[in-house]
Structure 1
Amino acid sequence: MPPATRATGPRNVEVTVLLLDIGASMHADLDSAAHALSAYVETRMLSRPNSDLALVYFGTSGTSNELHDEAASAGDPTQYLHISVVHALQQPGLSMLRSLRQVPRGDGESDFVDALTVALDSLYKAVALRDELQGPRVAKRIVLLSQLATQIKPDPGNAFKDTLVRKLAQQGVTLDLVCLHPYLAVPGTRAQLQYILDNSPHTLREVHDAAELAGAFKSREVTATAFYSGPFTISEDFEFKVKVAKKTNQEKLPSLGKESPFDSTDPAASHGLTLAREYRVAEEGDAGEEVAQEERVKVYRYGKQLVPVSSEEERYLKYAVSRGLSLLGFVDAASIPRHHYMKECWVVVADKASPTALAALAALAAAAHKRDQVAIVRYVPRAGGAIHVCAAAPVPAARATPAHLLLNVLPFAEDVRDFRFPGFDRPERKPGLRAAQAALDLVRAGALQEGPRERLVPEHVANPSLHAFLRLVANKALGVEPGADPGPDALRSALEREGLPGSEPGLAKACAELRSAAGLGGPRRALGRSPSQRLRPELAIQDMHAALGEEGAAQSLAALRGMHRHILELMRGSPGDRDVDAAVECAAAMREAASQHFQPDAWNSFLKDARKGFLNEAGKSRFLTDMQEAGLTPLGPARGGSESLRDSLGTEG
């Protein structure tokens, strides 16, 4: 038997053709699409400099590709029209970024099958000219971004698509499709695409808005590597080999190094700076004598005392345990509260080279899942390293994934923080039926689930800070002035309340009702726990006058506070300035009543809350302006005052 040959060629090399639809149906979203691909190019430039990219537009007004030229030379100039190869396969650079910042609007037909054929041909010809790109370790991809909203020509018998699928397989190319607004896709076009996808390795991402499109490509792609590879010990005489890798891990902003701006003429000179630290004896005045490395020792501060700890003693303090993954037992899944899951999550998979390990882990995961239990394991990834006690949740085998375990680190006793809550047995601390119903309505109104689709799924929400960093680096490389090109703000708006589906008036109404039912909000905060008269929204002025007709200062104050609450709730629930006129009318009635019943503080308190709530809120600051124009100024100790509303409250927080 001949010895096995190892795969040759560079590792972590990827060649990709970016295929962007710029036809008429894409014009409304073309800026967002170009920004998404620009972020993809920036990622490759920073994290995968060995990768090569090509850029192809389809749906263009003109035509510029070799397949069309070859067909035209053969006497058929109607083939592969409206497709332009903007950049041939090359290492990504500033020229490609500039192209993606100035994407033209095309008016040609967006035939994705022809575009895929041109992209594959461009990829094949470029790879054939470079020996280093022909090894089996070189990943080949075509990234297609389109709405599929153009009806393409039919393909009777799927003959053309079968040829395309066969060539994709021969070249080992993976399709990565991003479909924007999938509900706009033409059925016939979508059916032809589905045929290709069913017969080719691919990924398909459907995005429904600019925020999802901006997050279609990660700012940094990290391939999972085994952090631990070794035995999973079940008992003294039973173990099998597994691999443990990170499932999730918080990605941080790249650290910024310190470089010298000195422009040396020596090409071998380095701009890097080195950091040196000196230790000296602390003395009054000038620094004392320098302390050598062998004369320094670590100390533990115990009160005012410094207790020296030698390196031998420091090793003794460590919990010496061998490297490995060991089963300790099983517990009910419900017995581990969610807040006990700490740090990142790990995934445990069986070694694919061992059929015994595959069968053992599959059986273990299936049995634990059937009994709704999780395994408690001891995990030491490195010899002499930290020891972790983890909960291993079973995930049975599915069609696309093998059986595996998900490891989450559990806390030790010292890691648990004790927060003492006040007693909740007092009746006033329990929600009433109205408050409970209002909270239920709020949950329903703010639901992120829209049919089968859910908003803010972690796999589809990119980190706006990381993308902003990429944009900053690209802008500096392109010579763009700081702040001149912040880029689309879709990622940030996706994480704002106004950018979510519950931001319509239904949610605002539910919030106002819950605030009222729970006794929260502006009037309650400004006026303490004093009672207020509840007014009917449609008859607020009549209800206030009716309550003011009853004898007693307390009753009149409660009526004014009720109007105070009603006006603020009306404005908070108003979409924009729709209810400003009604609110000003109620405010005028309240000021007149406060003056007549000698309650200036009630009116002035309302003005302060109104200013705090609406002065800087877009669409609602008109409420303050209209009150000013109507002469609804603060009341003095006696009857009134002529000072300006903004001037009199200008020093308020």
Structure 2
Amino acid sequence: MDKEATLYVIDLARSMGEEHSGRSISDLEWALQYVWDKITNTVLTGRKTLQIGVVGFGTDHTSNDLQDDDGYRNISVLQPISQILMPQLQALPAMLRPSKTDDRDVLSAIIVAVDMMAKHCGTLKYKKKIVVITNATGRIDDDDVEDTASEFKGKGIELVVLGIDFDDPEFGFKEEDKSPVKMQNEKILKTLVDLSGGVYGTMQEAIDELSRPNIKPVRPTPTFKGQLKLGDPEHYDTALSIDVERYFKTSIKRPPTASAYAVRDAALPEEDMSAVHSLYKYKVKDEESGGGTRDVERDELAKGFEYGRTAVAISESEQNITKLETQAGYDILGFIPVDMVERYMILDNSSMIVAQKGNDKAAIALSSLIHGLYELGSVAVGRLVKKDMSEPIITLLSPFVETDFECLIENILTFAEDVRSYRFPPVDRVLTVSGKELTEHRNLPSEELLDSMSEFVDSMSLVRGDEEEMCIDDTFSPVLHTIEGAIKYRAVHQTDDIPEKSEMFLAYSRQPEELQEQTKGALARLIAAADVKKVPPKTKGRRKYRETEKPLSGLNVDDLFRKQNRTQISPDNAIPEFRQMLEQSSDLNLVKDAVQQLASILQDWILRSFGDANYDRVLEGLGVIREEILGFEEPALYNEVLRDLKKKLTAGELGGNRTDLWYRIRVTKLGLIANDTSPSSDVSRADADTFMSLKG
């Protein structure tokens, strides 16, 4: 990896604390959005070769190597050039504040930055960049512009000037009523950038670009170096052997995962976080031991593999027998027509196979193979072993030919066990029980519907002439960039709320307005052809989770057989009568009485149960109470029933030791109703989980 050193030269004068151009935040806060994004991106990589420094000018104090000269006052080195870590990052916000003075010279600050860069990098090979951020309202001594520009060219330093409210005709931004001083300063800085071959722009463009996730270039690293063979070159002269290298073509980038940390005692020095280490204990069933289990060491365990619901143990010696003794290499097993390759056969990431760097003979040989496959419309099936004794991978090698580049695209093939076959009835015809085939049926689309759907799909085309909207190269992973953005923001702003997503970020989550207008006519014709009708809203019952449905016959059998004003529940038909009792009234007192009655019946079933004979009835009854109480949004009623039941079970008041029933209650997830299930509950998820332990 090349070493990189970037210096941010930031204007911290008093005027940077003012608000301009209708913004609700100060110029400095606005500009720091760009700075934090770039610095946190660097910190996120964790690379030691990416080094950052920060220089503030217009500061109340002076702290730099050239401070003996009066021309370099009010310039402070806030962060020397080094790998920046979290402690340094979190210290920067307190230092990047507007000062109490407007006395500063941006050109002097740039000279200090060039001096810092030269001393740090010396003669070592670095990619060097100085980024200047200013509103250019202070004085600038332009006597040294040409000499400073030559320093940038001579030392190979890239200069980037981002001005707050700078005019930029190419971007389309112009500040109205600009002061003559700022106008002159912009010209001086533009001259410096042009002479040094740098980049000059307005901060508005840089801020707008922040809402679009950056494509991060990745240095290609070979995942295999060796010979691509067809046949056995050790025994046959006709065999083919080409020196090749394998690189990733596409790879899934996953968002960063969280690790467990514990907060240290505040009295301890340095870091206040400590990594959490896991300690594993293994237990096996042992009827002769106390509690029915016995602790064992990890070395005493054997690997078990699931076969259906049975665990099959395989010892290490048996595993060695089944392990293939392989040697690193890439072999072509054969060739097949490309038409025989189905998309479902391809799994995982894709790679590309290219000739060994600097090997002209290998390049010519691989090119011949690629063009042979391309012209014959064929692909190769390969067997890859990345290193000795590793598992072989069966791959598909497809020719890729462009004007200035060619290679073999590698995809991993599925095993037969990876393919799931499902049978579905045909969608273009209906088969009757007798085997008769119907081509006209209410479940089959008419020609009018097919034509309307085809027109609607065509109207949603994102290609207009030579331009394509929402092209694949501009899309990005919302999950990846949302999590990374939250981490980066929280690293700098430890107490502020995470900001809302930008409009550009949200653009891919909804259909463009122009496209909606474009498809309105086709959509209306499709709705008419499909005879789409709005479904009338269902009649809601008085409870949250229950809906009243009217029988198709119009005759409600329940009304005919329901006992009016039921107040007692019979143990012989407890659960149906409990439901009926709740349906008859919305009086909370009656609901409480019904719950208490059924709870008493459940406890009586447990008391009279011979072994676990009544346990299924008890579990069903608990489930019904829980379901109905959730509908009434009165979780405290169910939680009270469960607490009372646990108390009596643990005390042995319901027929002796019934702890096995509590285990079944836990397995069937009939625990306390926590506030993550019902907002009306006063029980947290942690307390609910603790309660389900017999000791909780």
Q: Deviations over 1:184-220 (max 9, x none)?
A: 389xx9xx99xx99x9899x9xx999886423435x7
- State the secondary structure of the residue aligned to 1:382: coil
For residues 246-284 of structure 1, what are the alpha-carbon distances to aligned partners after superposition, in whole Å with 9 as ceiling and x for unaligned?
632222323323335344637699833322222223246
SS in 2 for 1:429: coil
1:231 and 1:311, CA in 2 relative to 1: closer, same or farther beyond 3 A? same
Contact persistence 1:35–1:100 (CA under 8 A): no
Q: Does 1:384 align with 2:384?
A: no
Query: Are residues 1:39 and 2:37 paired?
Result: yes
- Using the TM superposition, give the Cα deviation of residue 461 of structure 1 relative to its aligned residue in structure 2, in angstroms: 2.8
Letter in structure 2 aligned against 1:384: M
Letter in 1 for 2:453: A
The superposition leaves residues 391-421 of structure 1 with CA deviations (integer Å, 9 ceiling, x where unpaired) of 334444666xx54333222222222222333
Please state how far the C-alpha of 1:423 moved relative to its aligned partner: 0.9
What amino acid is the match of 1:253? P
Distance in 1, Cα, partners of 2:122 & 2:492:
32
The answer for unaligned runs of 5 or more in structure 1 is 1-10, 75-82, 105-113, 147-159, 528-653
The structure-2 alpha-carbon separation of the partners of 1:340 and 1:479, relative to structure 1 and needing over 3 Å to count, comes to same
Change (3 A) 1:318 1:121: farther
Larger Rg: 2
Residue identity matched to 1:489? K
2:129 is the alignment partner of 1:129: no
Q: Is 1:254 matched with 2:253?
A: no
Secondary structure (helix, strand or coil) at the match of 1:475 reads helix
2:361 match: secondary structure: helix
Corresponding position of 1:438: 456
Which residue is equivalent to 2:664?
Answer: none
Question: Does residue 548 of structure 2 align to residue 506 of structure 1?
Answer: no
Q: Could you tell me whether the CA contact under 8 Å between 1:245 and 1:347 is conserved in 2?
A: yes
1:184 match? 172
Partner of 1:425: 428
> Compared with structure 1, are the counterparts of its residues 102 and 262 closer, same or farther at alpha carbon in structure 2 (3 Å cutoff)?
closer
Deviations 1:100-146 (A, max 9, x none): 99899xxxxxxxxx99x99986664223222xx34655433467999
Amino acid at match of 2:228: F
2:284 touches 2:293 (CA, 8 Å); kept in 1?
yes
Counterpart of 1:53? Answer: 52
TM-superposed CA distance for 1:338, in Å, is 3.7
Are the aligned partners of 2:55 and 2:76 in contact in 1 as well (CA < 8 Å)? yes
Residues 248 and 378 from structure 1, CA distance in 2 versus in 1: closer, same or farther, beyond 3 angstroms? same
| Pairing 1:239–2:237 present | no
448, 457, 468: which is aligned to 2:472? 457
Cα pair 1:262 1:271 within 8 Å, conserved: no
Q: What's 1:98 paired with?
A: 93
Match of 1:230 in 2: 226
CA distance in 2, matches of 1:86, 1:508: 56
Paired position in structure 2 for 1:489: 501
Aligned-partner residue type, residue 490 of structure 2: N
From the superposition, tell whether residues 216 and 165 of structure 1 become closer, same or farther in structure 2 (CA, over 3 Å).
farther
Any conservation in 1 of the 2:5–2:51 contact (CA below 8 Å)?
Answer: yes
Distance 1:241 1:455 in 2: 36
Contact 1:53 1:91 in 2 (8 A): yes
Counterpart amino acid of 1:380? V
SS of equivalent to 2:353: strand
1:38, 1:100 within 8 Å by CA — same for their partners in 2?
A: no
Structure 1 residue 336 corresponds to structure 2 residue 341: yes
CA distance in 1, matches of 2:534, 2:524: 14
Change (3 A) 1:395 1:134: farther
**Residue in structure 1 matched with residue 571 of structure 2 by the alignment:** none
Separation of aligned partners in 2, 1:504 and 1:100: 48
Cα distance in 1, alignment partners of residues 339 and 149 from structure 2 = 51
- 1:471 corresponds, among 486, 489, 496, to 486
Instruction: Give the % identical residues.
Output: 17
Range with greater deviation from structure 2 (271-280 or 364-373): 364-373
Relative contact order: is structure 1 or structure 2 higher (C-alpha 8 Å, sep ≥ 6)? 1
Aligned-pair distance for 1:468? Answer: 3.6
**Once structures 1 and 2 are overlaid, which stretch shifts more, 36-45 or 460-469?**
460-469
Aligned to 2:351: 346
> Alignment partner of 2:116: what SS?
helix
Query: Pairwise mapping of residues 602-617 of structure 1 onto structure 2 (< 5 A)?
Result: none
Corresponding residue for residue 562 of structure 1: none
Q: Is the contact made by 1:329 and 1:377 (CA closer than 8 Å) also made in structure 2?
A: yes
Aligned to 1:15: 5
After TM superposition, list the pairs within 5 Å mapping 1:557-572 onto structure 2.
none
SS at match of 1:440: helix
Pick from 128, 147, 153 the counterpart of residue 140 of structure 1: 128
2:455 & 2:132 partners in 1: Cα distance? 47
The answer as to 2:301 corresponding to 1:289 is no
CA distance in 2, matches of 1:201, 1:232: 46
- 3-state SS of the aligned residue for 1:239? strand
**CA displacement 1:296-327 (0-9 Å, x = unmatched):** 21223445644321112223334443222233
Amino acid at match of 1:230: G
How many aligned residue pairs are there?
480
Opposite residue 214 of structure 2, the aligned amino acid is F
84-93 vs 331-340, which deviates more?
84-93
Q: State the Cα distance separating 1:438 from its structure 2 match.
A: 2.5
Judge conservation of contact 1:174–1:201 (CA < 8 Å) in 2. yes
Contact preservation (8 Å) 2:263, 2:274: yes
Q: Which runs of 5+ in 2 are unaligned?
A: 100-104, 135-144, 175-185, 234-239, 430-439, 539-696
Change in CA separation of 1:267 and 1:327 when aligned onto 2, cut-off 3 Å: same
How far apart are the structure 1 equivalents of 2:229 and 2:350? Answer: 20
Query: Is contact 1:144-1:175 (8 Å) kept?
Result: yes
Q: Does the CA-based 8 Å contact 1:39-1:471 persist in structure 2?
A: no
Q: Normalized against structure 2, the TM-score is what? A: 0.52
The equivalent of 2:318 in structure 1 is: 313
Q: Is the 8 A contact 2:242 2:366 kept in 1?
A: no
Picking from 275, 279, 287, the partner of 2:282 is 279
8 Å CA contact 2:37, 2:488 repeated in 1: no
Q: CA deviation at 1:228?
A: 1.9
Length-normalised TM-score, structure 1: 0.55
Give the direction of change, closer, same or farther, for the CA distance of 1:135–1:524 in structure 2 (3 Å limit).
Answer: farther
Partners of 2:337 and 2:330 lie apart in 1 by 20
Distance 1:57 1:372 in 2: 63
**Counterparts of 1:372 and 1:103, CA distance in 2:** 67
- Matching residue's letter, 2:37: A
Question: 2:213–2:481: 8 Å Cα contact kept in structure 1?
Answer: no
The Cα RMSD (Å) is 6.0
**Residue of structure 2 in register with 1:597 after alignment:** none
